[in-house]
Structure 1
Amino acid sequence: MKKLSILILLLNFNLNLAAKSNCDCASELDFVYEQIQTTASFKDQIKGEKKLMFKENYQKLRAQMKDEQSKLDCFWKLNQLMSMVQDKHATLTENPSSLDEKNLQNSSFIARYRETDEFKNFPRSDRNLDELAKSLDGKSLDEVEGVYTIGSKLKMGVYRVAEDSLVGVILESQDEIWEPGQIFAYLKQSNIDSHFDIMHYGTNQKNLKFSKAQFFDHGMLFPSVLKENLKNNHAWIDKAAEDSYQLSNLSDDIQYVWLNSFSRTTKPKDRDALISQIQTDLTAKNLIIDLRNNGGGADKISLPILKELKKKKVNIYVITNFFTGSNAEMTTVRLKDKFDAIQLGQRTYGAISYGSNYGKSFNSPSGLFNFYPTDMRQREFIEFEEVGVQPDVKLNQESDWVEQTIAYIQNSDK
């Protein structure tokens, strides 16, 4: 059984690992080392003593790469170097292999894929799956260990292998590209409570991804990775996109709008329609702005809405979840600073200070990995990078978050 040196030291567990070990990780590390230094975040943060520490860490990692590295081990090391810079927008991912959308619809291709070394040697756990499933049964929603569903076709068991490290293994699969025993994710406790650095595979293309400081709360690891016994996920808003940007009346003195995105390509018409609604229909003294699931977008969408709201005498309450990101986080801060808005719900994602103006990305020397840099900054939001914007009022998972916000407003009015 082959062992990954860094992951074994880090996670302290035994796995049947992929035999493929053809990654020239030293050149990949050199690539990341050079690329990360071009980012706005590196130039902001890594100066003086920190720059020396960054170089020392690079040299220490490179010294471990005299021999060829497995792809998995290499990917972890590359992200450890990147993690020295606080920038959730800058990412490194594995380029997808042949598992593209077209091939995934081809049963003959999938049958051939299951006979390849890539499939047969995919990283696996050596745990007895029946025994593992029994040991994880009944874990509470507040424990990261437990049984999860991944979409509608996969079931995963997450089990602890060290005090700060866990592994997620497929327990059941109705998806032909996955099979029980294969590893889906590696989790390591970050320096923030209830947050994990997660190295995981894409559900469809099985390419490596890295999620930094991912927030685990009440059985939700990712939007599609949920504890099996989670009946109601009130943090996540489950609505059709068509329901957004519609001002509605909840009571005589409370109105509501869900802003699901600030995309400059899809939202200009919705923005203009909402502004017209605000001008004519916003009459209540309280307005709930729901920014859950809003991954961001552009100021040209969000700022005109805020400008119109500024003309109204209205108390604003903004609901956020962990998947409120980027420009939606900026909007949250602006609402709190300029409108004295009350924020309710969960912390935001923490990808707020940096962004990509050009959207360019770069392949590593081997072509295995792709680096997506940031080239723009907004320094006024740096304190929220990676830690997110914390709510004034945390909402619980026991009931609907809009209803809880209504109750909060009504109690505040008494």
Structure 2
Amino acid sequence: MRKFKKSSISLLFFIFSIAFSNAQINDCSCKMDLEFLNEKIQKTPSYKVSKAAYEMEYAKIKKEIRNLNSGYECFLELNKLMLSLNDRHCNLYGINTGLDGDLKNDTAKFKIFKKTELFTVYPRPVISLDSLRTALRKQPINSIEGVYFRKGYMTLGVYKMVESDSYRAIILDSENEVWEAGEVIYTLVPYGHNYLLAVGGSMTSKRMISYGERIENGVFLTMRFQKEPSIPNYSVSKYPESTYLREEISPETTYLKVGSFNSWNPTLSDADKFYKSLEGTLTKKNVILDLRDNGGGGDRNSNGLFKVLKKYIKLNNVYVLVNHRTASNAEQFAYKLSDFENCTILGNRTSGTAAYEIVDSNYNLPCDDYLVVLTSKKHSKYLKLESIGIEPYIKLAIEKDWMMQVKNYIRRNN
């Protein structure tokens, strides 16, 4: 009889434990994710630098998310919290990677995907899209608000949110089977120096993402939506199909395209070969170094190029082309070169993602909806660039051919 009682008690305890565990899983609130994220953030170098600003934002966000479950609004608030770190390498993604080639090419699977929580998670404001489009078309070219186009993808209406500094980018028309008219693809959160944090979904997969954006003269400099699609955008990388390229463009000038400082093979081995080919062969007076769309990498790659150009620049001129997508180690590289008198930086302001480094600090948040990427190393000498970027010595007009502008500048100043 005693054995029966003991076993019954054990069984009841086991059942209670399962029930309690399941209740915890089902009660997955934004608060749980926030507390876990806060604990991890406090171990980062950027927390130590920006502690006061972060603590203020944490107290505010804690109140904002009190009644939120895991979802888009939670994702947005957690991203706002991370902005206060002033560390643009820290990032938050959705764990669900969304639509891939297998799902897209299988009609049955794609129909199932359209019924998933990820497909329907993005806000759909109750608003007349036609009326909004009419109002936004009246906005001037230099206003963030307006109607933006990207052929083959979608048309966006960007409008300022009521009682907020943020903007919403709502889809007015879609040529993309993943997104529908009426969905908000991004919330754009200002964070100083005309930068915006775009919190939303991937255009192709609908995965939850956030990224740094800047809108200048009616152009999304990262995602390349434009108010006037007929006007060319010359800020984009030349020869996008090539990572490393050399071209002799005049008797006095050599053009070098360096599209990545990725420190892993095969890119690293390709870089090493390219840099070795430059040794002793840069004999002309001028080099144009094109770092547009170079998202960085590491010193294992970029040091090889720096070694070559350090010798060359003492007696010759280096003209560095940068854009908003020049980031991380590429920004560091351009900044180091700018110390030399014969270096001139041209283009538009860089990404402002330079002071911190990621070293295997990724965590799934408790609700298993979000993945956070945190930094673990600080580069103090580049703190002045974080969320500010490198302002070029010569700003180039986006709508005019950048290579022609650089050539004209060289002609006038040699």
In the superposition, relative to structure 1, how do residues 224 and 128 fare at CA in structure 2: closer, same or farther (>3 Å)? same
Which letter maps to 2:248?
N
CA contact (8 A) 1:23 1:68 kept: no
| Residue identity matched to 2:36 | F
In 2: Cα distance, 1:370 partner to 1:149 partner:
30
Question: For residue 266 of structure 1, what is the aligned residue in structure 2?
Answer: 266
Aligned residue in 2 for 1:377? 378
Rounded to whole Å, the distance in 2 between the matches of 1:327 and 1:235 is 19
Name the residue aligned to 2:352: 350
Task: Indicate the SS of the match to 1:308.
Answer: helix
If the length of structure 1 is used for normalisation, what is the TM-score? 0.85
Offset of 1:30 from its aligned partner? Answer: 0.5
Measured in 2, the distance between the counterparts of 1:300 and 1:341 equals 22
Kept in 2, the 8 Å contact 1:316–1:339? The answer is: no
Q: Give the corresponding residue for 1:319.
A: 321
Question: SS at 2:244's partner residue?
Answer: coil
Question: 8 Å contact 1:151–1:224 — kept in the other structure?
Answer: no
Counterpart residue number, 2:254? 255
1:113-143 Cα distance to aligned partner (Å, 9 max, x none): 4455765674212221222223333644433
Residue matched to 2:179: 178
Give 3-state SS (helix, strand or coil) of 1:246's partner. strand
* Alpha-carbon shift at residue 38 of structure 1 (Å): 1.7
What's the CA shift string for 1:76-122, capped at 9, x where partnerless?
22122212211110111222265344212222222234455765674
Pairwise CA RMSD of aligned residues?
Answer: 2.5
**Which ranges in structure 2 are unaligned for 5 or more consecutive residues?**
1-25
Q: Distance in 2 between matches of 1:319 and 1:385?
A: 19
Deviation at 1:293, TM superposition (A): 0.3
What are the superposed Cα offsets for residues 45-93 of structure 1, whole Å, 9 maximum, x if unpaired? 045xx2xx54454344324444344622222221222122111101112
SS in 2 for 1:77: helix
The residue identity in structure 2 corresponding to 1:216 is: I
The amino acid across from 2:39 in the alignment is E
Larger radius of gyration: 2
> How far is the alpha carbon of 1:232 from its aligned partner?
0.6
Task: Find the aligned partners of 1:228 and 1:58 in 2 and give their Cα distance.
Answer: 36
* Amino acid corresponding to residue 235 of structure 1 in structure 2: S
Q: Are the aligned partners of 1:148 and 1:225 in contact in 2 as well (CA < 8 Å)? A: no
Partner AA of 2:286 in structure 1: N
Measured at CA, do residues 29 and 121 of structure 1 come closer, stay the same or move farther in structure 2, by a change above 3 Å? closer
Q: In 2 relative to 1, CA 57–278 (structure 1 residues): closer, same or farther, beyond 3 Å?
A: closer
Q: What secondary structure, in the 3-state scheme, does the structure 2 residue paired with 1:311 have?
A: helix
Provide the residue aligned with 2:134 in structure 1.
134
Q: Give the aligned residue type for 1:220.
A: V
- The share of aligned pairs that are identical, in percent, is 28
Task: Give the AA of the match of 1:40.
Answer: P
Q: How many residues align?
A: 384
1:407 maps to 408
**Partners of 1:148 and 1:227 within 8 A in 2:** yes
Structure-2 change in CA distance of 1:145 and 1:27 (3 Å): same
Determine if contact 1:296/1:324 at 8 Å carries over to the other structure.
yes
Residue 13 of structure 1 corresponds to: none
What secondary structure sits across from 1:226 in the alignment? coil
Aligned 8 A contact 1:278 1:309 in 2? no
Gaps of 5+ in 1: 1-20
Give the Cα–Cα distance (whole angstroms) in 2 for the partners of residues 223 and 22 of structure 1: 37
TM-score, normalization: structure 2?
A: 0.85
Find the residue that maps to 1:241 and give its secondary structure. Answer: coil
State the match for 1:206 in structure 2: 206
